[in-house]
Chain A
């Protein structure tokens, strides 16, 4: 029996390690180990509750906007103003988060995943005149692949022409991410780590100029999503049909829902949102979300047993020598069941929930590829759900821009209460994100975040049920144990993110030119 370990610790600490036990070319069992010690709550304890909005954004370089949204919702609820946010505040929050999510979807497909399916080496034979493509070709022919390191792979199935075309889009997608970030910054003040989304609403005022400036960027993004991103995902799906079957995993998704459609409902579970909340299983039935059923289990995590429980009761007592444990990630479960989170979960809850626009969108794409809705539970199903999710949000934004009332307030004032509790549930691009707070003496007594990767990369729970990524890998055929491209494709489709916690530069190899300065 062979063992494949993919452990990126050599480059970025605080990341994910995947161990797969392979027997006769098939993954028998997989273990996902999160090496990030979850303890940043310690930083928040004793601080002014309003600091949470600024500090939690620094948890992740990819999803700061989602953290700021979760924190603001959490504080709205703790401050008793959840049902009082002005209409403009609600819409501006949606627009800032929506633009950030679009950037993130594009990043995930083109920059984090496409090189699993697209042979960027095809540019080496490029004969055309595009200056940027030639600049990248130069890098490749100098043997200095740099950022374009192709994951060594002999399973590329697109034509030379299609490879060059998609490589060009890899570059175009950068420009699009920049446009989306610029759009988010129009109302967010700056990006990353926006300063616009705060408890009480948004600090920016909607002006006609700002609305127009947002709209023209949005139009370009919509054009890219409709004519490039979604068609590219469909093209890849057609070329790799087996990946519309494998990597399904637990086949139960959980969405908190996101993008507020009303301001008067304080309960976030009942509040009307663009993407609906709920759990969807393989039979395509929608089960209501029940936050009280969410518990984090720690049997296989390096935490003391008393750290198990509801997120609001969650303690963080590390026990690095705990026998049998293998991860710093806890195992969140809904009513004891394993759930996958992500765009797939949002799209499914909205689709099964009967949203007509989502039904048309999903059915149209599935028909074009020639598969049924069950194919969504798969490696490329996740990518398709991200592209469809990007389109759904982008198509919703023009109407929101028109709903804004220029010059009117987007913020209401509040008092920090002596004692209170709050919950902020929303969605990061990569899945369900929850913040919880307890306030005592106007200070943070407890702050907990349950982030999307906690769900997806969770280890076995108290009943030894493997987490979503672990389940997605079990039974996968591996062609070449030394080069398990299948594992990379499947794991990356979940968009796991622990990387942002630590970003040390640890140079290796050459010591030439190293100068010790002081």
Chain B
């Protein structure tokens, strides 16, 4: 069974917000072995999808104020919970879900690839900027996946 997973997160109906899902759809065509590909969409069931995996690459749109199309990389431990406020109406967000997955014995090693969106509004296609960057983004995700496959499992 695969120990490494690549998860795409986001809403496919909102152009660049769906970058994670677009990446997974492209990877599915490559028939990669030894890696579990997961299109998590915006599902709260995220923690079960990654059960049994040891290492994970997550791709999502990340609004950090950089130029559209810029790609960021972090590990989970480098990210603070988006908010430590104790009162909100929220459902559980991505980072909470990742930590929850860990508490339930899920992947310890998590790399997050964030892509700065250019356009977030209704549409099934990526913006021209992200479409142009797409091959690079895809390669980067593959490199991350490969790096995880090569390293020893902790």
Residues of B within 8 A of A174 (CB): 47-48, 104
Q: How far is the CB of A33 from chain B (nearest CB, A)?
A: 12
Are B64 and A514 interface neighbours, CB within 8 A?
Answer: yes
Question: Of A16, A59, A147, A152, which one neighbours B86 at CB under 8 angstroms?
Answer: A152
Min Cβ gap A132→B in Å is 7
Give the CA-CA distance A15 to B72 in the complex, in Å.
Answer: 25
**Bound form: Cα–Cα A42–B43 in Å:** 23
- The verdict on A508 contacting B74 (CB below 8 Å), with A11-B88, A15-B90, A503-B11 known, is no
At the interface, yes or no: A181 with Cβ under 8 Å from chain B?
A: yes
Closest B residue to A482 by CB, please name it. Answer: B87
Number of A-B contacts (CB under 8 A): 198
Whether B45 and A181, one on each chain, are in contact in the complex, defined by CB atoms closer than 8 angstroms, is: yes
**In the complex, what's the smallest C-beta–C-beta distance from B99 to chain A, in angstroms?**
3
Which bucket holds chain A's interface residue count? 35 or more
Residues of A within 8 A of B83 (CB): 10-11, 508
Q: Are B61 and A504 in contact (CB under 8 A)?
A: yes
Q: Given the complex, which residues of A lie within 8 Å of B12, measured CB to CB?
A: 58
Q: Does B26 contact A (CB under 8 A)?
A: no
Closest to B45 in A: A181
From B21, which residue of chain A is reached at the shortest CB distance? A58
The interface-forming segment of B29-37, B119-127, B145-153 is B119-127
- Residues 1-44 of chain B, each 1 if its beta carbon lies under 8 Å from chain A, else 0: 00000000111111001000000000000000000000111111
A516 to B140, CA, bound (A): 12
Q: How far is the CA of A510 from the CA of B72 in the complex (A)?
A: 14
Given known contacts A60-B42, A135-B103, A504-B117, is B75 in contact with A513 (CB within 8 Å)? yes
B80-A61 in contact (CB<8A): no
- The answer to whether B94 touches A505 (Cβ under 8 A) is yes
The CA-CA distance from A139 to B99 in the complex, in Å, is 9
Indicate which residue in B14, B41, B48 contacts A178 across the interface (CB closer than 8 Å): B48
Chain A 143-159 residues near chain B, CB threshold 8 A: 144, 146-152
Pair B45/A178 contact, Cβ less than 8 Å: yes
| A111 partner, pick from B92, B136, B137, beta carbons under 8 A | B92
User: How far does the Cβ of B6 sit from chain A's closest Cβ, in whole Å?
Assistant: 16
- Min C-beta distance of A118 to chain B, whole Å: 15
- Whether A517 lies near B73 (C-beta < 8 A) is yes
User: Is A193 engaged at the interface, CB distance under 8 Å to the other chain?
Assistant: yes
Mark contacts of B37-60 with chain A using CB atoms, 8 A cut-off: 1 yes-contact digit, 0 otherwise. 001111111011001000000001
Contacts of B128 in A (CB 8 A): none
> Assuming A147-B99, A516-B72, is B82 touching A503 (CB within 8 A)?
no
Contact residues, B89-130 vs A (CB, 8 A): 89-97, 99-100, 102-105, 112-114, 117, 120-124
- Could you name 20 residue pairs across A and B whose Cβ atoms are closer than 8 Å? A40-B122, A43-B13, A58-B12, A58-B13, A60-B42, A61-B11, A64-B41, A135-B103, A147-B100, A151-B86, A152-B86, A192-B41, A500-B42, A503-B17, A505-B60, A507-B114, A515-B72, A516-B71, A517-B73, A518-B71
Binding site for B on A (CB under 8 A): 6, 8, 10-12, 15-16, 18, 39-40, 42-43, 55, 58-62, 64, 103, 107, 111-112, 132, 135-136, 139, 144, 146-152, 171, 174, 177-178, 181, 191-193, 483-485, 488, 491-492, 496-497, 499-510, 512-518
